[in-house]
């Protein structure tokens, strides 16, 4: 019953966090929220990112990375949902300390502590987030995102992204999870379309699942 309670209340919890962060602000207009879906040859992949200031001075922020995947037969064992919710506090420059928790479709609640480097402008975005997962077993996790978005014309931009994930157990030093996501497309207004590839690896044996296809991205 405990697992059912967690899953049933997860959408409400995510919505509540997003409402507080997105609508509870009286500051200047904020950067858009990217929501992305990749329709690959093996499965559908979803990702959404939130990075929003909470305090008036901008030092305290909320960071959310939500990802999910499901095959086209809707196989329960092939369905993945991971939601990372962290508060970040600026230390100096572009370096922040992070603390929060991840909701994982297999592991449940995973408390986290870490650091984050984040810098963005019209052309580049760089995010590196190393952290330590404290439960159910200790592990190190690193998320890295690099985007390059040069202008192609007055109305269009090239959109490229490389995103990596690496998780390793601290107890036995074995590989737990890793992934590489590549995207290349064209942005016009709030909409991006292009080609995407995901390379996912699971467990100590690095069982591989690849997914290549068309991705669409909307900046809300």
Higher pLDDT, 12 or 208: 208
Question: Could you read off the pLDDT of 147-175 as tens digits, one per residue?
Answer: 999 999 999 999 999 999 999 999 899 99
What is the average pLDDT across 5-20? 44
**pLDDT above 70 as % of the chain:** 86
pLDDT (0 to 100) of residue 28: 55
The mean pLDDT value of the chain amounts to 88
pLDDT (0 to 100) of residue 29: 62
Question: What is the C-alpha to C-alpha distance for residues 85 and 105, in angstroms, rounded to an integer?
Answer: 14
Domains of the chain: 2-219 (2.40.160.40)
pLDDT (0 to 100) of residue 79: 94
Q: Model-level pTM?
A: 0.84
Q: How far apart are the first and last CA of the chain?
A: 35
Question: Could you read off the pLDDT of 38-82 as tens digits, one per residue?
Answer: 999 999 999 999 988 998 888 999 999 999 999 999 999 899 999
**Res 23 pLDDT > 70:** no
Burial class (CB in 10 A: 0-12, 13-18, 19+), 220: exposed
pLDDT (0 to 100) of residue 58: 83
């Amino acid at each position: 019953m405990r697992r059912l309670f967690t899953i049933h209340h997860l959408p409400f919890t995510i919505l509540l966090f997003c409402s507080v962060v997105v609508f509870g602000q009286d500051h200047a207009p904020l950067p858009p929220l990217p929501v992305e879906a990749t329709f690959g040859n093996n499965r559908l992949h979803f990702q959404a990112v939130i990075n929003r200031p909470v305090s008036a001075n901008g030092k305290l922020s909320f960071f959310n990375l939500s990802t999910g995947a499901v095959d086209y037969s809707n196989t329960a064992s092939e369905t993945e949902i991971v939601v990372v919710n962290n508060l970040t506090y600026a230390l100096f420059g572009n370096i922040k300390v992070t603390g929060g928790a991840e909701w994982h479709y297999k592991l449940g609640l995973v408390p986290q502590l870490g650091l984050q480097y984040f810098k963005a402008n019209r052309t580049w975005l760089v995010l590196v987030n190393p952290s330590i997962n404290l439960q159910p077993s200790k592990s190190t996790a690193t998320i890295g995102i690099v985007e390059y978005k040069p202008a192609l014309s007055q109305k269009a931009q090239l959109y490229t992204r490389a995103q990596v994930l690496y998780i390793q157990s601290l107890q036995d030093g074995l590989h737990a999870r890793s992934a590489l996501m590549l995207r290349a497309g064209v942005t016009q207004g709030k909409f991006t379309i292009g080609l995407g590839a995901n390379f996912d690896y699971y467990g100590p044996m690095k069982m591989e699942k690849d997914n290549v296809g068309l991705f669409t991205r909307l900046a809300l």
